[in-house]
Amino acid sequence: GTGSSILSSLQDLFWLSKSKVEKQLQIISVLQWVLTFLIMGVACTLILMYILCTDCWAIAALYLAWLVFDWNTPKKGGRRSKWVRNWAIWRYFRDYFPIRLVKTHNLLTTRNYIFGYHPHGIMGLGAFCNFSTEATGVSQKFPGIRPYLATLAGNFRMPILRDYLMSGGICPVNRDSIDYILSKNGSGNAIIIVVGGAAESLNCTPGKNSVTLKNRKGFVKLALRHGADLVPVYSFGENEVYKQVIFEEGSWGRWVQKKFQKHIGFAPCIFHGRGLFSSNTWGLLPYSKPITTVVGEPITIPKIDNPCQREVDFYHSIYVDSLIKLFDKYKSKFGLPETEVLEVN
């Protein structure tokens, strides 16, 4: 009757409202991470300097004293927080795109691992969501494995930001940190290295599947020195969430980017996503395109204290072949044509 029709209409209105609220929460969750990535380090440093010049200077002084005392913690596995990794905000972050983690093989807890993550994208959104939070269930899919996402060491010199990053299990991508985790932290550790780094980010653009890998062999040498198995990881859709202005080789723009990359460790990119209130305008929010991260089969690596170049080259070639096979096996399942070829530079 009329009463049931009115009730049905009210229910439809309620669920529509709930859907809109969830979408706004997803946008907020992604926006806070984008701002963290872009400005949190510099902003916290400036705020701390300002507080030192006010009547509340003692608060800043106490934090700086703690910072000196705690300076080497990032190099020793950091200080992860299960509570932070399970925040509800990360589930909204996951659902905005959405982001999925696909397991193809079991990982033994008696071994250590180095995951090679490809491609970098602009911000490595898939790497962060899958391995620095529990939003996609990494601990359930790989029980007994502790993931450590490695990022620029310079981030850990920034006050507040360093503590925020460590709470998610993020560590500096330098030899001291990796050596500690793989040699003094027991077994069951997995360090995720975005192998292509800043150089790869300069070429990421929608529709392009390319990785910077041919001359990136340091991670293979580290794996050999510690006997850590190598695991290829490919994130389908990572390059789709932002559009970037690509400067040609030899142009002034590419020259500036390479200078920043060489001296600072990151390359400034000119990119854009969608606006905060409309997907038809430009802004800092990534486009809501699906990102599917596939963790491949581990490659058993022997422990060699001082591997020679021939040994590094041999296992590097095995890794490259494994990554290409992983890409070819899953590309059609995640929206790419069978003719798509992974470009290895």
pLDDT band for position 180 (50/70/90)? very high
Query: CA-to-CA distance for 254 and 201, rounded, in angstroms?
Result: 12
pLDDT band for position 5 (50/70/90)? low
Residue 212's alpha-carbon distances to 49, 123, 201, 217, in angstroms, are 39, 16, 9, 11
Query: CA-to-CA distance for 345 and 343, rounded, in angstroms?
Result: 6
Query: CA-to-CA distance for 327 and 323, rounded, in angstroms?
Result: 6
**DSSP 8-class letter at 286:** P
Greater confidence, 250 or 56?
A: 56
Greater confidence, 95 or 204?
A: 95
Greater confidence, 8 or 200?
A: 200
- Coil, strand, or helix at residue 142? coil
* Size of the chain, expressed as the number of residues it contains: 345
Arithmetic mean of pLDDT over the chain = 91
pTM (2 decimals)? 0.90
Write the DSSP string, 197-255.
HHHHHTT--TT--EE--TT--HHHHHHHHHTPEEEEEEEETGGGS-EEPPPPTTSHHHH
Mean pLDDT for 120-131 is 95
Range from 221-230, 237-246, 265-274, 293-302 carrying the lowest mean pLDDT: 265-274
